[in-house]
């Protein structure tokens, strides 16, 4: 963000990390990000965006609640561990939720496809499409999560649809002459 002219202020409750980040040149405040007074001191009144990247769900919910109550102008983006934490944050009205497990799983899947011989571009595009399908499905699945039978049925239907759409795209791509990124033709032309 700094390389793009975006100034960020970091809040952390680990004094060693605060000291290290300050020595690296970051503007850092020590303390609990659920405290409105600390957020105020850190500049939340003038900020446009608040990113919550705390470790626990309870802490994430508390940060969101504090921000909404004291700084309603802030757009809140929240990092969560997985889908079920994301549902809880979505219940707080947060639309910008980033799941750690999703990103890592997609990266892993893309790498597996490449290791199995898929073109880098094709694997990357499949990962991006999977993300789009999965994130779109979150809003549909969130209200169903407390009804195990309905939730599982809906998840299975979404998985089948995703697989069908991704397979269709893969078949279409194989016939399209897509020679992007890592094709033999491109390598030969560059030699």
Count helices and strands (H / E) in the chain. Answer: 8, 5
Confidence (pLDDT) at 124: 94
**Does residue 178 register a pLDDT over 60?**
no
Confidence (pLDDT) at 162: 85
- Average pLDDT, integer, range 137-143: 91
**Angle of helix 57-70 versus helix 83-91 axis, rounded to 10:** 20
**Does residue 75 register a pLDDT over 60?**
yes
Place of tokens 């892993």: 108
pLDDT band at 191 (very low <50, low <70, confident <90, very high): low
Structure-model confidence comparison of residues 184 and 72, the more confident one: 72
Structure-model confidence comparison of residues 67 and 122, the more confident one: 67
Side-chain-side CA neighbours of 185 within 13 Å: the count stands at 6
pTM of the model: 0.79
Percent above pLDDT 90 for the chain: 75
Structure tokens at 88: 């809880």
- pLDDT tens-digit readout, 30-50: 999 999 999 999 999 999 999
* DSSP secondary structure letters along 11-80: EES-HHHHHHHHHTT-EEEES-TT-HHHHHHTTTTT-SEEEE--SSHHHHHHHHHHHHHH-TTSEEEEEE
Cα distance between residue 155 and residue 144, in whole Å: 10
Q: How far is CA 189 from CA 118, 120, 122, 182, 183, in A?
A: 20, 18, 20, 12, 10
- pLDDT tens-digit readout, 24-35: 999 999 999 999
Confidence (pLDDT) at 177: 53
pLDDT band at 153 (very low <50, low <70, confident <90, very high): very high
The mean pLDDT value of the chain amounts to 89
């Amino acid at each position: 963000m700094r390389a793009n002219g975006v100034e960020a202020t970091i809040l952390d409750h680990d004094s060693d990390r605060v000291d290290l980040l300050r020595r690296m040149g970051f503007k850092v405040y020590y303390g609990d990000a659920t405290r409105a007074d600390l957020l105020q001191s850190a500049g939340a009144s003038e900020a446009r965006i608040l990113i919550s990247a705390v470790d626990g769900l309870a802490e994430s919910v508390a940060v969101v609640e504090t921000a909404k109550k004291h700084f309603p102008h802030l757009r809140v983006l929240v990092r969560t561990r997985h889908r079920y934490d994301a549902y809880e944050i979505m219940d707080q009205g947060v639309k910008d939720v980033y799941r750690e497990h999703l990103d890592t799983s997609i990266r892993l899947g893309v790498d597996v496809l490449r290791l199995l011989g898929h073109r880098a571009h094709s694997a990357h595009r499949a990962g991006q499409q999977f993300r789009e399908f999965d994130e779109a499905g979150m809003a549909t699945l969130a209200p169903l999560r407390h009804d195990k039978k309905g939730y599982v049925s809906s998840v299975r239907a979404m998985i089948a649809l995703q697989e069908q759409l991704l397979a269709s795209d893969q078949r279409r791509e194989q016939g399209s002459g897509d020679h992007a990124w890592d094709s033999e033709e491109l390598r030969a032309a560059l030699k």
